Structure 1
Amino acid sequence: MMLRVAAVAIVAALALTGCGGTEPKSETAAGAAPAPPAAGLTVRDPWVKAADSGMTAAFGTLVNNTGADVTVQSATSPASPIELHTMAMKDGEMVMQPQPDGFVVKAGASHELAPGGDHLMLMKPSAAIKPGDELTFTLKLGSGDSVEFTAVAKPFAGAQESYEPGTHS
């Protein structure tokens, strides 16, 4: 009987671990999934545009799981200095512009970081970013909290943005 109960418990535990969403997961020392970040902000489906050289960008969806607006003020990564950028019309042309005030994610809503829109600009990657590479990021929030996530590099030719120096104001 004890063997049967133990087997059911193991099967149930395995079934529950397979039911996770698409949120990035990290493991604690005990092997259990960590609690949601204190900041209440998560990053869904993060990815980085692969690049052999020059600037590139990180994308994903910022999800605010709280009842208050959350401001992403800055981002850091061991792979490169980062600026928060948006694409905007200037003199009839789409250009990149820094977002010194950050990105505001409304209470209970999401904010998309996407090619041709808001993004995390990797200004000077220290090495080529190849498809399949995993890069770590830390978002600094207006509350003083930080949110860490990992993004996988993917080849992407869409949107045809130019991330070369001098292409943004």
Structure 2
Amino acid sequence: MRRFALTALAAAALTLSLSACGGSEEKAEAAAPPAAELTVKDPWVKAVDSGMTAAFGTLVNNTAADVTVVSAASPASPMELHEMAMQDGAMVMRPKEGGFVIKAGGTHELSPGGDHLMLMQPSAPIKPGDELRFTLTLGDGGTVSFSAVAKPFAGAGESYAPSTMPSMAS
């Protein structure tokens, strides 16, 4: 009888220790954050003293389905999604109809002279080193927040002023 009791006790202890291990693995898996639907790699903003500017980086889709960015917001300025495109033989900046589509498992580049997040009327100068907060709204209603640091950038001398405004240079 004593031998049966010890065997039963050992089996119960083994069962408890195995279930405790399984429980901790389940907790560890549940505690791990899920992969973000969309991330922004190497974000930055073109520093300006006044006027319009833009934010850039690489949108990375970590899912098996296409993701669409339909709008952007920042406390620093009202915003629009913009593209550079040929129109009547000239390269112009314009709002991006339908947003930015990032293919499943793919990336979408936001760069000077290309697609970008337009800061329409910054409320204050954006100096090199300033950190700005952004929130992207996705087609499914989800949001993605990120920060970007302002950098001085002359680039190719592109202007983020509306193409309908006359040039002030003479």
1:75-118 CA deviation, whole Å, 9 max, x = no partner? 00000000000000112211101013100000000000000000
Structure 1: state its 5+ residue gaps: 1-32
Note the 1:67-86 alignment, pairs <5 A: 67-86=64-83
Q: Is contact 1:134-1:152 (8 Å) kept?
A: yes
CA–CA separation in structure 2 for the residues paired with 1:71 and 1:88: 19
Counterparts of residues 50-61 of structure 1 (less than 5 Å): 50-61=47-58
Answering whether residue 139 of structure 2 is matched by residue 135 of structure 1, we say: no
Which has the higher Rg, Structure 1 or Structure 2? 2
Most deviating of 95-104 and 53-62: 95-104
- Matches for 1:75-154 after TM superposition, within 5 Å: 75-154=72-151
Cα displacement (A) at 1:36 = 3.5
| Distance in 2 (alpha carbons) for counterparts of 1:99 and 1:120 | 10
C-alpha distance in structure 1 between counterparts of 2:93 and 2:71, whole Å? 16
> 1:13-60 CA distances to partner (integer Å, 9 max, x unpaired)?
xxxxxxxxxxxxxxxxxxxx96543xx100000000000000000000
Task: Give the number of the structure whose residues are more often helix, by fraction.
Answer: 2
CA contact (8 A) 1:95 1:167 kept: no
Between the aligned partners of 1:154 and 1:50, the Cα distance in structure 2 is 5
Deviation at 1:143, TM superposition (A): 1.0
Tell me how far 1:164 sits from its aligned partner.
2.0
Taking only aligned residues, the RMSD between alpha carbons, in angstroms, comes to: 1.8
Residue number among 39, 46, 49 corresponding to 1:49 in the alignment = 46
Provide the residue aligned with 2:60 in structure 1: 63
User: Contact 1:135 / 1:151 at 8 angstroms: preserved in 2?
Assistant: yes
Aligned-partner residue type, residue 142 of structure 1 = G
If the length of structure 1 is used for normalisation, what is the TM-score?
0.76
| Deviation for aligned residue 1:140 | 0.1
In 2, the alpha carbon distance for the partners of 1:35 and 1:126 equals 36
CA contact (8 A) 1:85 1:99 kept: yes
Q: TM-score, normalised by structure 2?
A: 0.75
- Contact kept, 8 Å, 2:60 with 2:105, in 1: the verdict is yes
**Cα 1:122–1:101 shift into 2, 3 Å:** same
